[in-house]
Amino acid sequence: MTDSSVVEVEETLTGRYLQTARAGRHAITVDEPPSVGGNDAGPGPYDLLLMALGACTSMTLRMYAEHKQLPLTRVRVRLMHRKIHAADCAECETTAGMVDEIVREIEIEGDLTPEQRSRLLEIANRCPVHRTLTSEIRIVSRLA
C-alpha cells in the first residue's frame, strides 16, 4: 500500500464516538447522531459510504459526458440507506434476515435525448465505487 492510498481514522478522545479521518492532506470529522450516543459533529460512517458512492457516480457521469461531448450541465445524486427484510426483496439472493438497501436517485440536467439519459444511467452503474459495493469484497483485518 502506498501512502497515497492509506486512510487513517482515530478517536479524538473529545467525544464518545468522535473520530478524525485523514486521507493524505485532507481531514474530516466523523461522528454518530445523538440518537445513538454521538455528538453529531460530523457525518456518520454510512453517510460517508453514501457520499463516496454519490461522488463517484457524479464524477463518472461528468467524465463520460466530457468524453462523449454530451450537453450535460449538472449532476446531483441523492442517496438513502436502510435495512430491509430479505423476504421483501425479490431481487436479492439472501432470503432470510436483513439486507442493506441503497437507493440512488440521479438527477441530470442538460439538453439530453432520452437515449443519452438512458445511457448515462447505465454508465452510473459502472462507477468504480458502485462496482466495488456490488462485487465480492475481501477485507483483511490485523492488529498493527
Q: Which residues pair with 102 in a beta bridge?
A: 81
121 pLDDT more than 80: yes
- Domain total of the chain: 2
- Cα separation of 24 and 101, whole Å? 31
Does one domain contain both 57 and 110? Answer: yes
Range of the domain at 13: 3-36
Residue 51 included in any domain: yes
Residue 142 included in any domain: no
Residue 61 included in any domain: yes
Residue 69 included in any domain: yes
Residues in contact with 12: Cβ distance below 8 Å, sequence separation at least 6, in sequence order? 18, 19, 20, 29
Does one domain contain both 17 and 57? Answer: no
Q: SS in 3 state form for the chain?
A: CCHHHCEEEEECCCCCCCEEEEECCEEEEECCCHHHCCCCCCCCHHHHHHHHHHHHHHHHHHHHHHHHCCCEEEEEEEEEEEEEEHHHCCCCCCCCCEEEEEEEEEEEEECCCHHHHHHHHHHHCCCHHHHHHCCCCCCCCCCC
**Average pLDDT estimate for 62-88:** 94
Does one domain contain both 28 and 7? Answer: yes
Does one domain contain both 90 and 26? Answer: no
Which three cell numbers mark 13?
A: 478522545
Tens digits of residue pLDDT in 4-35: 689 999 999 999 999 999 999 999 999 999 99
- Cα separation of 110 and 68, whole Å? 14
Residue 94 included in any domain: yes
Kindly report the CATH number assigned to the domain that includes residue 119: 3.30.300.20
Percent of the chain with pLDDT over 70: 97
Per-residue confidence (pLDDT) for residue 3, from 0 to 100: 59
Tens digits of residue pLDDT in 76-106: 999 999 988 777 777 777 777 888 899 999 9
- CB-CB contact of 83 with 101 (8 Å): yes
pLDDT interval class at 1 (50, 70, 90): very low
Does one domain contain both 54 and 108? Answer: yes
Does one domain contain both 24 and 72? Answer: no
Which three cell numbers mark 101?
A: 438497501
Q: The pTM is what?
A: 0.90
Residue 53 half-sphere exposure toward CB, CA atoms < 13 A: 22
Does one domain contain both 56 and 98? Answer: yes
Mean pLDDT, the chain, rounded, equals: 93
